[in-house]
Amino acid sequence: MVSMATSDEKSAAQILAGTSLAQGMNEEDLKELLASSEVTLRTYPKGAIVFHDGDMPHSLYILLKGEVHILKDTYSGRQIFISEIDRPGDMFGEVYEVLQRPYDMYVRAVTEVKLLEVSSHLFTLDIGDKPRRSALIVQKNLMKIFAGKAYGMHTKLKILASGTLREKIVRYLYPHVDAEGHVTLTVSRAFIAAYLAVSRPSLSRELGAMQRDGIIQATGRSIRITDMDLFESYL
């Protein structure tokens, strides 16, 4: 186990305090959690594999610094991009850890990354006669996290059930449109393509077609709806 220096612990506490896993924790709870033998700070170099497809889980992971990609290799050797984790405080691997199911994907460090690894011993239902307050809060928050993921999957299924790629794009973007008709993407186009189960070139072509049709204007991660009536007709 890698012990945390004071500066690392302070930085980890600041990031952890903003996560859904630590919702409702006070400063003492955070210190208790980070001091636990079930919480470890690890650094992975660029290109390192955090865990492999088929590995049995032993922790959930909270990103402190850097970026990782969640990937899957097909039997033919093609690599499928599933998701990116690049915001400090983002969590991954928790479903596999709680269910104790082997991973069916793998995670690679795209940059040097710092991760907080939280062992399942901290949030299993059997936590002894005198459970720590922080462990009880983690358990409670995990229930909310799983409920949120279930709702997110329900939303994704509704989007994927749309008929055309244009309809899928509109239904994906619509909840993020502000009052002035702007969308600022917080994820990459590769992530959106994976979410919509299409190739990135197909997504780019359709966004280009929507732009030519006068529906949107896209520049980088900024999208402006130029014809809201036409845009909403695809909902």
* pLDDT for the residue 99: 82
Least confident of 5-14, 137-146, 196-205: 5-14
* Segments of the chain assigned E as strands: 39-44, 49-51, 59-65, 68-73, 79-85, 91-92, 106-109, 113-119, 182-184, 216-219, 222-225
d(CA 179, CA 153): 26
* pLDDT for the residue 176: 93
Residue 22's pLDDT band (cuts 50, 70, 90): confident
Mean pLDDT of 72-81: 84
Residue for token pair 């992971």:
61
Confidence check: pLDDT of 49 > 80: yes
Confidence check: pLDDT of 5 > 80: no
Per-residue exposure over 34-66, b if at least 16 CB sit within 10 Å of its own CB, e if not: bebebbbbbebeeeeebbeeeeebebbbbbbeb
d(CA 9, CA 35): 9
Domain with CATH 2.60.120.10 in the chain: 6-157
d(CA 84, CA 60): 16
Q: Give 142-185 pLDDT, tens digit per residue.
A: 888 888 888 888 888 888 887 899 999 999 999 999 999 999 99
Q: What's the distance, Cα to Cα, between the start and end of the chain in Å? A: 50
CATH topology of domain 6-157: Jelly Rolls (2.60.120)
Residue 6's pLDDT band (cuts 50, 70, 90): low
* pLDDT for the residue 97: 81
CATH topology of domain 163-232: Arc Repressor Mutant, subunit A (1.10.10)
Domain with CATH 1.10.10.10 in the chain: 163-232
Higher pLDDT, 172 or 82: 172
